[in-house]
Amino acid sequence: MAEAVRENLADTARELEEAVRDVRGYEYAVINDHALFPFKYAGRPRPLDRARLASNASPTRRRMLLGHGPQPQEGLFALSDDLTTEEYEELHETFEALGASTKLVCLFFTADPENGIHAIHWGDAHLEPDRTFTWLYSEQLRVAPQLLE
């Protein structure tokens, strides 16, 4: 379902003559240097603060969230270059396809095939080391009622 949402956002961006960028075979809508990043965090209604990135999530998703998402809030101490690993540096690299200045706008939602989207939120989500998210800003959007066929 998340793939269908991502594709729909890309198609809508094209209709609006906005940018669509390919990141490793997946197209993302980019509007005013903000890439729209849809993420289904549950298959049933769940509060946004329960959202968590799956342990088997692709490195591409992790890199997009870390490289283009908001920077973490100040920690207890700053990491110097000699304390970071090559893997850490790779995760924080930005995708050239999006452009280094492009920021993510996260679109987190819960949905299932029978009921469609239950809830959708947008905002700035920072991926934490434990795969949870810290929201610097979030807002719940209204979900349009589904039309019966």
Task: Give the integer Cα–Cα distance in Å for 58 and 62.
Answer: 7
For 70, phi and psi rounded to 5 degrees?
-65, 150
Burial pattern 2-16, b for ≥16 Cβ within 10 A else e, equals: eeebbeebbeebeee
Tell me what pLDDT residue 94 has. Answer: 58
Per-residue pLDDT tens over the stretch 67-98: 878 876 555 444 444 545 565 455 445 566 66
Mean pLDDT of the chain: 81
Residue 101 has pLDDT above 80, yes or no: no
Residue 123: pLDDT band with limits 50, 70, 90 = very high
pTM of structure = 0.77
Query: Which tokens hold the place of 123?
Result: 């905002």
At CA 119, angle to CA 51 and CA 112, rounded to 5?
85
- On whether the CB atoms of residues 73 and 128 are closer than 8 A, the answer is no
| Max mean pLDDT range (2-6, 42-46, 92-96) | 42-46
Strand ranges inside the chain, DSSP E:
19-23, 26-31, 34-42, 103-112, 116-127, 133-141
pLDDT at 8: 86
Pairing of strands 19-23, 116-127: unpaired
